[in-house]
Structure 1
């Protein structure tokens, strides 16, 4: 089956749209552009597909109501704009999809919400139930409360993780650029790259940053999102928002990234890509071998040093003696508890401190090798 036919026949899709594709020259929401996107997605959903829309635009939608002329740079004002704009954005989607008798549901996520075991399962369960009920979820990062430490960073990465979370058939990343080119698209002779089969196809490709005054992403973030999604077995397409009808129809537009992994739900992909380490555990060579080669849990006996400040359940990097990260996982002890446990066996700790100390520092199920 060709990658384009996968998109044409996909029964479950995640579609991400960037701020620049929803706003007009003045930086505010453009109703015509939003309506055109909704019509394309509604047609596909009414044809039997399940769609999750990951939409940027909350901060952009709050710019004018707050009397601002440009996207704010400081976090507090960004959060204020998101607070005002999120309601306006969802109201616009609700009206537009209601014209097609499609109900939308808002899902706001932070990276912290979806890394802990119970929260990850809840996010998946909520999205699955909304889809089962015929609702079209509109997902965005919860910009009103997210801090720099717990941000996804951009909605491209969020969309890739959502595609993995719900085991989507395909991911479509829409922006104001129609495809990935082998150089700046404005350069004479630049050629569209129709298919990327793996990292080797990107060798020598010049990739720029964000091209929008209202967005935070760029082609770099889209390639990273494609890497995350394709590692989870999800076909990914990057194209312009005004080509959404063509890409959903399976036409040869944009750039298609072919899967390099196997589809299936694994929290470990989330641990690798959706978390930011709050600290570091330096371990000895024996522990490195146990984690990387033997696929074991991390025990106190193998830890040499504890760095940073973190709580039980936070993500931390596990580093070898030379400081190189070898794994990331969710720790079962805080940074204040751990130092007294280093170098000791779990049996010894249980005997001296109680049975609750006979537990792994990081369980294998909460650990991903980097």
Structure 2
């Protein structure tokens, strides 16, 4: 590791006792410029498993978030390119998921390790009960000594309930599992301030805050995946905001990335880790409606005060008490998310009224300060 890459955040990542490692499709699936139907690259997958095993052998708990299911199913189905329609994507995923799980299981079996497959949809993470069940499953797999390999359940996920890419899924899993660090491995060496393929781009070694991203242009994904630098940057910022440091590096540098974190781009985490509940409200929960508030209520929320009926000017959507809603200002901008205390019809009757004028059963805040999470 060079002197400029010895830093507190890299030390934190290299010393993490539990990590989530996301591996992109491009690192697992063979491809050529004209034909992406070659299937899994087992040699590269074995090399990645070797690097992961080395980290686990040092005493670190590792959860793998693996892309590649759709790409692995393209060849067996006789397709020549990544499908664009949902039904064919799901068919390719159903075939490729078997191949991907078998490949990981076979590779880790060389070290006597058992692999457990965990398939998730955005809906699983957005619903509190399923969210907790997924957390328990991951925790139990780790205590039993198995390697959890997580992927989006592409066979049932629809466009409306997809994570969109496994980078975001990995960031959510990192917080869900209480991981100490997140490592994103793909086909790029790190974060650049432009497209490195066009020349002249500078790699950014560390991101301590938003100011370090000024002028950065992030692109979309390639032929095999749905991610790209934009999704990796978004996922890294999501995880870092929740208190999880992130390393973005090339899959070809996996051994170094997992050993001393001396490659790629490191993202420093916020000083305090967000609680699991607040993280779920801000990043994972599915919102059921919107509460429109006046300027006074918006200012109070910004000071982390409860939302009272007097500050409500509108209600949108159908929701029940305990659902998550967006709290928006008069300009339509989302100011916060929160767990609503009442159903939509009750809030509609409370609009603009003083708490003292309401029946005893409706005198709680519409959203208590403890249930509000400001939008970043």
Query: Under TM normalisation by the shorter chain, which class is it?
Result: 0.7 to 0.9
Deviation track 1:23-79 (CA, whole Å, cap 9, x = no partner) reads 001342221121111111122112211001111112112222333221111223222
1:244 CA drift (Å): 0.2
- Counterpart of 1:287? 297
Between the aligned partners of 1:87 and 1:366, the Cα distance in structure 2 is 41
Q: Summarize the Cα distance change of 1:167–1:192 in structure 2 as closer, same or farther, 3 Å threshold.
A: same
Counterpart position of 2:244: 234
Rounded to whole Å, the distance in 2 between the matches of 1:49 and 1:338 is: 48
Is 1:175 equivalent to 2:190 in the alignment?
no
SS at match of 1:148: coil
Matched residue, 1:266: 276
Query: 8 Å contact 2:126–2:284 — kept in the other structure?
Result: yes
- Which of 4, 7, 22 is residue 13 of structure 2 equivalent to? 7
Matched with 2:147 is 136
**What TM-score does the superposition give when structure 1 sets the normalisation length?**
0.88
* SS of equivalent to 1:151: coil
Alignment match, 1:98: 109
1:214 aligns with 2:224: yes
Q: Does 1:20 find its partner at 2:26?
A: yes
Cα gap change, 1:55 to 1:282, in 2 (>3 Å): same
Distance 2:348 2:166 in 1: 37
2:59 aligns to what? 48
Total equivalences in the alignment: 364
Once the 2 structures are TM-superposed, how far is the Cα of residue 286 of structure 1 from its aligned partner? Answer: 4.0
CA RMSD of aligned residues (A): 2.6
After superposition, the Cα gap between the structure-2 partners of 1:343 and 1:94, relative to the gap in structure 1 and judged at 3 Å, is same
Verify the 8 A CA contact 1:149 1:276 in the aligned structure 2. Answer: no
- Residue 15 of structure 1: SS of its match in structure 2? strand
| 1:318 and 2:318 matched | no
3-state SS of paired residue (1:149): coil
* 1:161 aligned onto 2:172: yes
Q: Deviations over 1:133-172 (max 9, x none)?
A: 2121111122222233322221111111221222222211
Runs (5+) with no aligned partner, structure 2: 1-6
CA positional deviation for 1:310? 5.0
Seen in structure 2, the aligned counterparts of structure 1 residues 85 and 329 have a Cα distance that, compared at 3 Å, is farther
Q: 2:337 aligns with which of 323, 328, 333?
A: 328
CA distance in 2, matches of 1:287, 1:117: 28
Equivalent runs, 1:29-40 vs 2, <5 Å: 29-40=40-51
- Tell me the equivalent position of 1:107: 118
User: Which secondary structure does the structure 2 equivalent of 1:10 belong to?
Assistant: coil
TM-score (norm 2): 0.87
Tell me what 1:75 maps to. 86
2:236 and 2:267 in contact (8 A); partners too: yes
Structure 1 residue 190: Cα displacement: 2.8
Match status 1:89 vs 2:100: yes
Distance in 2, matches of 1:141 and 1:72, equals 17
Note if contact 1:150-1:276 (Cα within 8 Å) is conserved in structure 2. no
**1:316 to 1:47, Cα distance in 2 relative to 1, 3 A:** same
Provide Cα deviations, 1:225-255, integer angstroms capped at 9, x if missing partner. Answer: 1111212222211111111001111153111
